[in-house]
């Protein structure tokens, strides 16, 4: 086990804190070690008082072969695994150690065992992270070529299609999706560089919002445009009715700060749920309001008893239990909405909402994403 400087300092502080107490003259910590093809041994990694000499193993110190009443050994144990030993030297010549001293040394050995165990877990985790990063680098490198090839073939296909505008529109949509994947690949590539995580970022936070660190001007309209195109294509493929905005309110057309890019994640989550869980012939769509937007479907109505439960992490409604899913989508969507000063609810009361399209009042399931529209463009 390779000892880090932080771990070594922690061990020395632990030994030093015990100090010259009740006749103790020296504390030495050994860790269990074994090399391939050799027997296990105990390597010295720290001692008090600290002296300037090469640390040696127990096998290399002949003095330790002889039993001494002034010396005791305390095991460092994690469950059934012996991690090391603590050697204690005293000036107690008769071997009658005070019970309180023995109790304190046992407590010290337990504390040291926890430190060693934690360091071993940390080193294992670091090795796993290092390995995963190397694998991510390889996958990213391998993805670049087929992604570039897809774009090349798409351009060639557009030339062959000539004046077939409908087919050209499909190919252009494919190129938009290919460009989005490229952005995600760029985001993955940044994982191999040191990153500073926001303090308020939860474990479920997605790190791949559209236009991540992009120089493009971000508006709600251009955030939602590729998602709506994807929804339109899905509806056409599944032969569903699809509704999307024709007119865009002013707040959707003005530039917004990058932190509001999560709006795209929220909408994508909600639409994905609608397509996944609504009946095969259910209408799906999105409508903009003066204070946010609504994603709706005309599938099986979510019951009143599940109206709030569906936003709990891991909860899956009665209509979705037979289908794949983790029960995290709505939990994450509401969490992200609140992080940017908004909210997300399943609504039935329309009195306080300014709808541009009255037909939404007749839909079975309406998720209202309320946004801080006055703050978005500041």
* Residue 194 pLDDT: 62
* Residue 338 pLDDT: 93
Name which of 42-56, 132-146, 193-207, 320-334 the model is least confident about. 193-207
From the number of C-beta atoms within 10 Å of its C-beta (0-12, 13-18, 19+), residue 283 rates as: buried
* Residue 242 pLDDT: 93
* pLDDT band, very low/low/confident/very high, at 157 (cuts 50, 70, 90): confident
Q: Which residue has the higher pLDDT, 293 or 143?
A: 293
* Residue 367 pLDDT: 93
* Residue 205 pLDDT: 41
Return the HEC string of the chain.
CCCCHHHHHHHHHHHHHHCCCCCEEEEEEEEEECCCCCCCEEEEEEEECCCCCCCCEHHHCHHHHCCCCCEEEEEEEECCEEEEEEEEEECCCCCCCCHHHHHHHHHHHHHHHHHHHHHHHHHHHHHHHHHHHHHHHHHHHHHHHHHHHHHHHHHHHHHHHCCCHHHHHHHHHHHHHHHHHHHHHHHHHHCCCCCCCCCCCCCCCCCCCCCCCCCCCCEHHHHHHHHHHHHHHHHHHHCCCEECCCCCCHHHCCECCHHHHHHHHHHHHHHHHHHHHCCCCCCEEEEEECCEEEEEECCCCCCHHHCCHHHCCCCCCCCCCCCCCCCCHHHHHHHHHHHCCCEEEECCCCCCCCECCHHHHHCCEEEEEECCHHHHCC
Q: How far is CA 250 from the centre of its chain?
A: 35
Which residues have CB under 8 Å from 101's CB, separation 6+? 21, 22, 23, 24
Q: How far apart are CA 306 and CA 324, in angstroms?
A: 18
Q: Is the pLDDT of residue 347 over 50?
A: yes
Cβ distance 329 to 312 under 8 Å? no
Q: How far apart are CA 183 and CA 350, in angstroms?
A: 38
Average pLDDT over residues 178-185: 78
Q: Report the 10 Å Cβ neighbour count for 280.
A: 8
Q: What is the pLDDT of residues 8-19, one digit of tens each?
A: 888 888 888 876
Q: What is the pLDDT of residues 101-129, one digit of tens each?
A: 999 999 999 999 999 998 888 888 888 88
Average pLDDT over residues 76-93: 88
* Residue 226 pLDDT: 84
* Residue 54 pLDDT: 54
* Residue 202 pLDDT: 46
* pLDDT band, very low/low/confident/very high, at 318 (cuts 50, 70, 90): low
Going from the C-alpha of 18 to that of each of 6, 32, 93, 326, the distances in angstroms are 19, 22, 20, 50
* pLDDT band, very low/low/confident/very high, at 97 (cuts 50, 70, 90): confident
Residues of the chain with pLDDT > 70, as a percent, come to 79
Query: From its phi and psi, is residue 197 left (phi > 0), alpha (psi between -120 and 50) or beta?
Result: beta
As given in the structure block, the two tokens for residue 75 are 């095991």
Q: Which residue has the higher pLDDT, 261 or 142?
A: 261
* Residue 342 pLDDT: 94
Domains identified in the chain and CATH numbers? 5-127 (3.30.450.40), 212-376 (3.30.565.10)
* Residue 285 pLDDT: 92
Peptide bond into 220 cis (omega under 30): no
* pLDDT band, very low/low/confident/very high, at 156 (cuts 50, 70, 90): confident
* Residue 370 pLDDT: 93
Q: How far apart are CA 26 and CA 52, in angstroms?
A: 14
Q: Which residue has the higher pLDDT, 326 or 155?
A: 155
Name which of 173-182, 317-326, 328-337 the model is least confident about. 317-326
Which residues have CB under 8 Å from 44's CB, separation 6+? 28, 29, 30, 55, 56, 57, 58
As given in the structure block, the two tokens for residue 270 are 């909600």
User: Angle formed by the axes of helices 165-190 and 220-238, to 10°?
Assistant: 120
pTM score, whole prediction: 0.55
Q: Is the pLDDT of residue 210 over 50?
A: no
| Average pLDDT score over the chain | 80
Average pLDDT over residues 132-138: 80
Q: Is the pLDDT of residue 313 over 50?
A: yes
Average pLDDT over residues 177-197: 71
Q: Which residue has the higher pLDDT, 367 or 211?
A: 367
Average pLDDT over residues 25-40: 77
């Amino acid at each position: 086990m390779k000892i880090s400087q932080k771990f070594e300092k922690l061990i020395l502080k632990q030994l030093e804190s015990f100090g010259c107490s009740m006749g103790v003259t020296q504390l030495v910590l050994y860790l269990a070690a074994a090399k391939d093809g050799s027997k296990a041994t105990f390597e010295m990694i720290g001692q008090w008082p600290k002296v300037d000499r090469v640390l040696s193993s127990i096998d290399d110190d002949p003095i330790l072969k002889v039993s001494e009443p002034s010396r005791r050994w305390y095991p460092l144990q994690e469950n059934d695994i012996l991690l090391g030993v603590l050697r204690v030297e005293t000036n107690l010549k008769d071997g009658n150690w005070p019970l309180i001293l023995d109790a304190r040394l046992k407590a010290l050995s337990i504390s040291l065992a926890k430190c060693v165990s934690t360091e071993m877990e940390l080193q294992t985790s670091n090795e796993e992270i290092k390995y995963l990063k190397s694998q991510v680098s390889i996958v990213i490198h391998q993805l670049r070529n087929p992604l570039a090839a897809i774009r090349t073939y798409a351009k060639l296909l557009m030339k062959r299609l000539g004046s077939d505008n409908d087919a050209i529109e499909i190919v252009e949509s494919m190129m938009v999706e290919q460009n989005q994947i490229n952005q995600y690949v760029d985001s993955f590539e940044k994982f191999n560089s040191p990153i500073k995580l926001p303090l308020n970022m939860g474990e479920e936070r997605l790190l791949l919002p559209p236009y991540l660190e992009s120089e493009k001007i971000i508006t709600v309209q251009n955030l939602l445009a590729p998602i709506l195109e994807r929804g339109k294509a899905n509806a056409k493929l599944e032969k569903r009715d699809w509704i999307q905005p024709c007119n865009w309110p002013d707040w959707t057309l003005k530039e917004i700060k990058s932190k509001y890019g999560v709006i795209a994640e929220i909408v994508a989550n909600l639409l994905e749920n609608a397509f996944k869980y609504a009946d095969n012939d259910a209408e799906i769509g999105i409508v903009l309001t003066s204070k946010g937007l609504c994603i709706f479907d005309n599938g099986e109505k979510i019951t009143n008893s599940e109206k709030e439960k569906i936003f709990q992490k891991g909860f899956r409604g009665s209509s979705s239990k037979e289908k794949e899913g983790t029960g995290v989508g709505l939990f994450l969507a509401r969490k992200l909405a609140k992080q940017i000063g908004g909210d997300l609810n399943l609504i039935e009361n329309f009195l306080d909402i300014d709808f541009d399209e009255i037909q939404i009042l007749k839909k079975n399931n309406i998720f209202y994403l309320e946004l801080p529209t006055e703050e978005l463009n500041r």
